[in-house]
Amino acid sequence: MPESGEKIFFPWKTFAFEAFLFSLTLILGIITAINWQELFKFQKIQPQPISFWRFLFYFLFGTLLIFSISLLSKKFQNQKRAIFKIFFILSSVFGTLYLFFPFLNIFSLILIIFLVYVWLKKPTVFLNNLLIIFGLAGFGGILGLSFQPLVIVFLLLVFSIYDFIAVYKTKHMVKMAREMLEAKIIFGLIVSQNVSDFKADLKEVEPGGRFLILGGGDVAFPLLLSASLVPSGIFNPLIVAAFSLIGLFLSFYVFASQKVRQPIPALPPIALFSIIGYLVTRF
């Protein structure tokens, strides 16, 4: 869900930064899937399949939990921040381990401990993006191997509708995003039109500020579809990734074209073109 202010105009170089971060996450996720597929083959392990309903249950449970935490009153702000921080650290740690373990082994643990330590001491936009990219790439890459592509296609359709309702109707997605912004724990890619802004402290990232935020789910779902196609070869995942980038462009275009810029559901166009990319691989 891209989110920014009403008075800031983002030129197309902002999209270049967004596209770079988005593409980097997908490429690293595909590499993760390839590495773990080789490890599974070597150890003769078959990833346990994840069904549509099982994933849907876990997602809704997690969303309900986070939304319930965000409803806590202002006097629990410190507690909310602590809980969000724990979620962020755990997802970053395990995702980074999945990403780097196949070729760094124990050194991957040293790397993530160092990155989390620096993030706790000085949480910058650059470091937040780095941890989000590593976390999404690691989790998305290995998790995608447990899905049949058609299951993820259905998930993309379902969650595109959910994203639309959550942003425009119930608006609980917007509320959760603003709560996390207030807590300075951001589960998404933070983009700006200026390179210097990537050195900024997370305290400077505010609703209506100079930054654009692409939610983690908007990157994770096309990555899952790409990673699920890794067993069929490297070409198909790259096709889906390329088409999802077209969807990202369309999402950004809609966002930047608003007279009064408001949060929009970014997943529907990304999902649409990811599915088109998947259909292309079937022919």
Q: Three-class SS string for the chain? A: CCECCCCCCCCHHHHHHHHHHHHHHHHHHHHHHHHHHHHHHHCCCCCCCCCHHHHHHHHHHHHHHHHHHHCCCHHHHHHHHHHHHHHHHHHHHHHHHHHHHHHHCCHHHHHHHHHHHHHHHCCEHHHHHHHHHHHHHHHHHHHHCCCCHHHHHHHHHHHHHHHHHHHHHCCHHHHHHHHHHHHCCCCEEEECCCHHHHHCEHHHCCCCCCCEEEEHHHHHHHHHHHHHCHHHCCHHHHHHHHHHHHHHHHHHHHHHCCCCCCCCCCHHHHHHHHHHHHHHHCC
- When pLDDT is cut at 50, 70 and 90, the band that residue 35 belongs to is very high
Q: Is residue 65 part of a domain?
A: no
Indicate the angle between helix axes 77-104 and 172-183, nearest 10 degrees.
90
Q: Is residue 57 part of a domain?
A: no
> So what's the pLDDT on residue 1?
53
**Cβ-proximal residues to 282 (8 Å cutoff; 6+ apart), any chain:** none
Q: Is residue 7 part of a domain?
A: no
Measured distance CA(212)–CA(67) in Å, rounded: 22
- When pLDDT is cut at 50, 70 and 90, the band that residue 20 belongs to is very high
Over residues 131-156, the mean pLDDT reads 95
Name the maximum alpha-carbon separation found in the chain. Answer: 57
Q: Is residue 53 part of a domain?
A: no
Phi, psi of 201 (to 5 degrees): -70, 150
> So what's the pLDDT on residue 7?
45
Residue 142 predicted with pLDDT over 80: yes
Whether the CB-CB separation of 214 and 2 falls below 8 Å is answered with yes
- pTM of the predicted model as reported, rounded to 2 decimal places: 0.89
Domain of residue 231 covers 12-43+74-281
The β-bridge relationship of strands 188-191 and 212-215 is antiparallel
Q: Average model confidence (pLDDT) for the chain?
A: 87
Q: Is residue 204 part of a domain?
A: yes
- When pLDDT is cut at 50, 70 and 90, the band that residue 195 belongs to is confident
> So what's the pLDDT on residue 221?
95
Measured distance CA(90)–CA(78) in Å, rounded: 18
Higher-scoring residue by pLDDT: 58, 234: 234
Residue 237 predicted with pLDDT over 80: yes
Beta bridge partners of 33: none
> So what's the pLDDT on residue 4?
47
> So what's the pLDDT on residue 75?
66
> So what's the pLDDT on residue 22?
97
Q: Domain tally for the chain?
A: 1
Residue 124 predicted with pLDDT over 90: yes
Q: Is residue 52 part of a domain?
A: no
Measured distance CA(21)–CA(126) in Å, rounded: 11
> So what's the pLDDT on residue 244?
98
Higher-scoring residue by pLDDT: 49, 4: 49
For 60-69, the pLDDT digits (tens) are: 787 777 777 7
